[in-house]
Amino acid sequence: MRLPRPTLAQALVAGWVLAAAACAGAGFLVVVTGAGDRLGGGLMALGLAGLAGGLGVGSRLIESGAGAVEDRDAPFDRGDPGDEPMPLSPARRRLLLGGGAAATLVAVTGIRVLGPDPERLRGTAWRAGARLVTTEGRPVHVGDLRPGATLTVLPEGASAAFEAETILVRLEPGQTLRPPGRAEWSAEGYVAYSRLCTHMGCPVGLYEQRTNTLLCPCHQAGFAVLEGARPLFGPAWRPLPQLPLTVDADGHLVAGGDFDDVTGPGFWGRPS
């Protein structure tokens, strides 16, 4: 493959790098402003394609020695060990810096599109005053569940917030929470815990009414409902985070705030 003259090749590399930077920057703005992850992902892909094109042409440019031609039959010269490397030309230095900036934008956009929002790793969509709603979006009234029944609930207006999924349990009459200071976390006999198992994040959806135990079906972890959902058996070592509950003037269950701990399994900075 014969490359064009160095000046033209450098212009091609610069064009690819600028296109990559423009696509990555636009993708980052799209994702940050909430215009759509799909559009942001598409722009990120175009940015990756631009980087690939720039790297392809740039590598050929470097291999070509910027126009220097050697006899292919000449003996290989290892050079003098004391020789210093040839410094980069200003044009190539600018290309490298531009490529690095474009790669950084692509990487940041990719993390933002493909990875979770870092704030969601430490908090959820639950806020004080948020009504508990079913997966169909119906507000939960204090009279909806019989004692011993359970229901999966979410904060109103955040139906896609998987990290906020909650298992709501109505206790039997006379049952109370044993941990000191947690009695006010229940309301009208209801108690709520994160539905994400603290072992591997599986949905905790089984409730053994006789022993007041929430069960994870994936790896058979059990949690004591009356004792702050502390682990009873299985691989989970951390309690299910608890959601404080109150009741509004219309008799609907509402959250008193966010969970008391991070939901789901461990992540960086904390053992799993």
For the chain, which residues make up each domain, given as ranges?
6-67+94-115, 132-255
Return the ∠ at Cα 117 (arms to 112 and 119), rounded to 5°: 140
What's the pLDDT score for residue 268? 44
The helix or strand, by DSSP H or E, that contains position 25, with its residue range, turns out to be helix 6-32
What's the pLDDT score for residue 215? 96
What's the pLDDT score for residue 210? 93
What's the pLDDT score for residue 160? 73
Q: Name the DSSP letter for residue 227.
A: G
Q: Is 235 left (phi over 0), alpha (psi -120 to 50) or beta?
A: alpha
Q: Which regions in the chain score pLDDT beneath 70?
A: 1-10, 13, 28, 30-38, 40-41, 44, 51, 54-96, 98-100, 102-103, 105-122, 266-272
Residue pair 109/31 in contact by the 8 Å Cβ criterion: yes
What's the pLDDT score for residue 211? 94
Residue keyed to tokens 């994936």:
218
Taking the CA atoms of 23, 29, 31 and 34 in sequence, report the sign of the dihedral they define.
negative
Was domain 132-255 assigned CATH 2.102.10.10?
yes
Three state DSSP letters for the chain:
CCCCCHHHHHHHHHHHHHHHHHHHHHHHHHHHCCCCHHHHHHHHHHHHHHHHHHHHHHHHHHHHCCCCCCCCCCCCCCCCCCCCCCCCCHHHHHHHHHHHHHHHHHHHHHHHHHCCCHHHHCCCCCCCCCEEECCCCCECECCCCCCCCEEEEEECCCCCCHHHCEEEEECCCCCCCCCCCCHHHCECCEEEEECECCCCCCECCEEECCCCEEEECCCCEEEEHHHCCEEEECCCCCCCCEECEEECCCCEEEECCCCCCCCCCCCCCCCC
Return the ∠ at Cα 48 (arms to 29 and 52), rounded to 5°: 150
What's the pLDDT score for residue 64? 58
What's the pLDDT score for residue 257? 94
Residue pair 257/126 in contact by the 8 Å Cβ criterion: yes
Residues paired with 131 in a beta bridge: 254
